[in-house]
Structure 1
Amino acid sequence: MNFEEKLKSGKFIITAEVSPPRGVDVSSFVSKTLMLKDRVDAVNVTDFQNVGVRITSLVGSYLLLKEGIEPIFQITARDRNRVAISGELLSAYALGIKNVLVLTGDYTTTGISKSAKPVFDLDTVNILKMAKKLESGEDFAGKKLNKSPNFFLGAVFNPNITPLDIEILKIKKKILAGAEFFQTQLVFDLSIMERIREKVGSEVKIIAGVTIFKSMEMIDYMINNVPGIKIPRYILEKFEGKDNIKNIGIELCVDLCSKMKESKLVDGVHFLASRPSDIIEVMNILRW
């Protein structure tokens, strides 16, 4: 079964994200990601993560597809207008890539290339609508396609946003626009997921974000530089004054993953900002 079939079958899904290289040597990118082959159900390829120059998500996704790893192609609204987005979507499908995660993208001033001019021609909802129009056989200008794609469209949400009702409203708009699955920012509190389930229903496929904290530097960086991150105080206290940060991080991740699977509130876990070797270690402990 492919990623879509597994998710719709009710299987508890495991996904992870990887970042394409900052250069043309792709060997390390491919070899490290190959560690996840046959261990996770799909791999997200980030799209100009942290507003930095890298090989594109489309190329990274194709490199993984050639190695037998099912990719989730990420595309943001920040760096492209509707023509470029449409072209990349069609290109992805022509290469055999059907899983697409649509994101708005963080503003350029939050990342490395602060002087880059953002585009934001479309937001996430309108990119999803445009992708559905491509599936109907036309582009956004009404021009007929010689053959229609058939994407498996996803979007994201942040369970840490307050008030939560605003984020729930966005989730519902994305569902109406065509999103069939969601991956989330880091989740620490399952009671929040319970509130979201009450509002959006049990049929919506949600893959909850987790991570493996490996150092205090990583924790500080995420708090100070990654938009949308909110790490609860009780989590931070687990690491204060400790030397074995990575071991504590792995124990925390194992505990969260186990609780998420038992809760049945989410349909899987998505490893964010985690090395393949650390992900494998967590999965081995969980016996997944």
Structure 2
Amino acid sequence: MTPIIRAARGNVRTAKGWIQEAAKRMLMNNLDPDVAEKPDELIVYGGRGKAARDWQSYQHIVATLDRLENDETLLVQSGKPVAVLQTYTHAPRVLIANSNLVPKWATWEEFDRLDKLGLMMYGQMTAGSWIYIGTQGILQGTYETFAAAADQHFNGTLAGTITVTAGLGGMGGAQPLAVSLAGGVSICIEVDATRIQRRLETRYLDTVASSLDDAISQAERARTERRALSIGLLGNAAEVLPQMVARDFTPELVTDQTSSHDPMVGYLPVTSPDEDVDMLRRSMPDAYLARVRDAMVAHVHAIVTMQDRGAVAFDYGN
């Protein structure tokens, strides 16, 4: 059973200096269940963005930070502590390098090979550097993105518009609140029910629809009233968006923030209720990736169709 990680609070430290204590608390805060997406797997956000390579590495990092002197520097390579050097008091206490591959080998295939050997992890931007602060950290930038869309296309406000998007993870979870802050209505598709529940609990999401028809009905009513509303919808975007197209439903904006940068882990194919996705991924990776690509094609084709019908479509990080 994996431990539940909570960073210390207050002015009592266990490390030999406050800089070391700060680094340790930042690492631990990344893995707090209120912050991380899958803390039991050391995954913070973004598909498989991790704070440490494995639990042994995590424990060694914490222990090293506690005994690190004020004139020493800890070196961390892809989530594993590899050296402690004597430097000087004004040098960094920790230096971190994550997922560094020279261009010829900078491929998912090579990364996956090294990952399976326990030689590398994917650190994302702020997971492996221990500075992730949850969805609040991306809220302002996400709001600015939708506000810019409002400025360019809707006279400075999203009031009276519907945005369709997908992904309510660590990054995408900022979208419903950001659209609401810009005055608009959003239908946010998410394949994982626990992520929808988390966004409801933190009030980044107003409500959850019981079906696609319910989501569209709620959204259209709020649009008519020029009332901001965020609606979660459980489903796979590769299925839901084509269904929207088939219903002749065209939102004013359509975008996406699923983890499609990582097809092996971050983006799920269309599956039947009785399929074990994890087993399929492990036992038949090539077949799994082929199905992921098929899902991406269907997803993007629906977005383009909506764009052809008048929606403003834009990429958001994928």
Q: TM-score, normalised by structure 2?
A: 0.31
Q: TM-score, normalised by structure 1?
A: 0.33
Flag the structure with larger Rg: 2
